[in-house]
Amino acid sequence: MNVYYFILSVLAVWRLTHLLGKEDGPFDIIFLLRKKAGAVFFGSLLDCFYCLSVWMAAPFGLWLGNGWIEKILTWLALSGAACLLEQATTKNGGPGQTTYHED
Specify the number of domains making up the chain: 1
Percent of the residues in the chain that have a pLDDT greater than 70, as a whole number: 87
How many Å from the N-terminal Cα to the C-terminal Cα in the chain?
Answer: 51
Measured between alpha carbons, how far is 11 from 86 in angstroms, rounded to an integer? 10
> Which residues form the domain of 49?
3-88
The answer to the question of residue 95 being in a domain is: no
Measured between alpha carbons, how far is 22 from 16 in angstroms, rounded to an integer? 10
List, for residues 41-51, the tens digit of each pLDDT value.
777 777 788 98
Measured between alpha carbons, how far is 9 from 49 in angstroms, rounded to an integer? 17
The answer to the question of residue 64 being in a domain is: yes
The answer to the question of residue 102 being in a domain is: no
The answer to the question of residue 98 being in a domain is: no
CB 82 within 8 A of CB 75: no
Per-residue pLDDT of the chain (103 residues; tens, 9 = 90+): 789 999 999 999 999 999 888 888 888 888 888 788 777 777 777 778 898 999 999 999 999 999 999 999 999 999 999 999 999 988 865 555 556 667 6
Measured between alpha carbons, how far is 68 from 76 in angstroms, rounded to an integer? 12
Q: What is the predicted pLDDT for the residue at 68?
A: 95
